Amino acid sequence: MGAGHDTVAAELVRRARERGDDALVVDVLALLPYGLGSALRHFYRGSVRHFPWAYAALYRLFLRPGAGRRPGGTPLARLAGGRLRELAESTGADVVVPVFHLGAQLTGHLRARGLLTVPSVVLVIDFALHRQWLHSGNDHHLCLTEQAAREVRESTGSPAWTCGPVVAPEFFADAPDAPDAPDAPDAPDAPDAPDAPDAPDAPDVPGGPDVPGAPGAAGWRGLFDRLGPGRPAVVLSAGAWGVGSHLDVTVRLLTDHGFLPVVLCGDNERLRRDLSGTPGVVALGWVTDMPGLLHAARALVDNAAGQTAVQALAAGLPVVGYRPIPGHGADGVRRMAALGVSDVAEDGTGLLGALRRLTAPGPARRERIAAGRALFTDDAVARAYAVADAWRACR
């Protein structure tokens, strides 16, 4: 549905090919007939961006865990069943790995009825498990945490393992020769503190991936030093679609208190233009060098607990959840904080306090980084191969 699912799928393919095998990425929405997949994607994108209250209602109805019968995604997923079966048979697939919950409903339905002849291993990429990830027909689930795996086992009776997030290896490499960041600013906690340093004029920053004058983290650090000298760079993620609540207010808060906000606007060009006019803000469009960017920054402000958040954890970047998008975003942000791998801020004062504590060198920052990197426990591709091997051995 979003770029996070695509990113995970691409990394699974890379790992499979690194092992000398092949893999095929299939968009389950593209398998739906009558243009339903495109309509569903546009509806979801529009509701999250413009009508978040509508998405929150749909999440409560279809996705949020809980007792009682509610509508599910299986009837819709069944419409793609024939095309997925044809692909699995024509490619000689050994295993099918859904990374999107509608795909999990589809493979579970097919496996339960004996219509898919190879095992399905669902890779749950959300911290907060919702009910559409669950279908007892699937052979196995791979989860980010043991808590999620336990919930899968209890709900479906099927095996579930913990593998941690799936992130490209470039994110784990330490930033080369990274200098110590400046201490977090000591402005008072109140958002309207009068003695915060003046923000520089709004920089003229293009939105493309080639913003830095040099590649990698060094290039990004050079850009940040030029645009906000002495200010810790804080990345704000609005996802691939540029979705966020009151981002203009948040960036002004950060600039007023001595930080350099770096906003990932995705493909939302209007958001990038609007924020580019705010003094002291770096507003970026689509960024391809995410490892370099995250290694050069000091913290991530996140609103969805999605792929950017786990990339930050892999890169050793503390994460603070703030103003999450409704539904799975809000549940995921709070689950991450409950696991101890991130902070969550309820208001501007809490956000400033968390950022001052986590951008400054010291034990709080080191402990949070260590907790985040401890999530990465196993290789999802190796686990999927193990399921396929065991299934073949039992035939």
- Encode pLDDT of 161-177 as tens digits: 999 999 999 999 764 43
| Closest listed residue to residue 228, CA positions, set 300, 322, 297, 315 | 297
pLDDT (0 to 100) of residue 58: 72
Q: What is the 3-state secondary structure (H, E, C) of 134-162?
A: CCCCCCEEEECCHHHHHHHHHHHCCCEEE
pLDDT (0 to 100) of residue 197: 41
Residues with Cβ within 8 Å of 65's Cβ and at least 6 positions away in sequence, in order, are 129, 130, 131, 151, 155
Please check the confidence at residue 198 and state whether its pLDDT lies above 70. Answer: no
Q: How far is CA 348 from CA 189, 251, 260, 336, in A?
A: 9, 11, 16, 19
Residues with Cβ within 8 Å of 37's Cβ and at least 6 positions away in sequence, in order, are 27, 28, 29, 30, 31
pLDDT (0 to 100) of residue 196: 40
Q: What is the mean pLDDT of the chain?
A: 85
Residue 69's pLDDT band (cuts 50, 70, 90):
low
Name the token pair of 18.
Answer: 């690194």
With contact defined as beta carbons under 8 Å apart, do 85 and 115 qualify?
yes
Query: In this structure, is the dihedral angle defined by the CA atoms of residues 90, 91, 95 and 101, taken in order, positive or negative?
Result: negative
Task: Kindly report the pTM of this predicted structure.
Answer: 0.85
Residue 131 carries which DSSP code?
Answer: G
pLDDT (0 to 100) of residue 204: 44
With contact defined as beta carbons under 8 Å apart, do 296 and 274 qualify?
no
Please check the confidence at residue 68 and state whether its pLDDT lies above 60. Answer: no
The predicted model gives 315-327 an average pLDDT of 93
Please check the confidence at residue 159 and state whether its pLDDT lies above 60. Answer: yes
- Encode pLDDT of 283-307 as tens digits: 999 999 999 999 999 999 999 999 9
Residue 7's pLDDT band (cuts 50, 70, 90):
very high
Sheet strands (E) in 326-378: 343-345
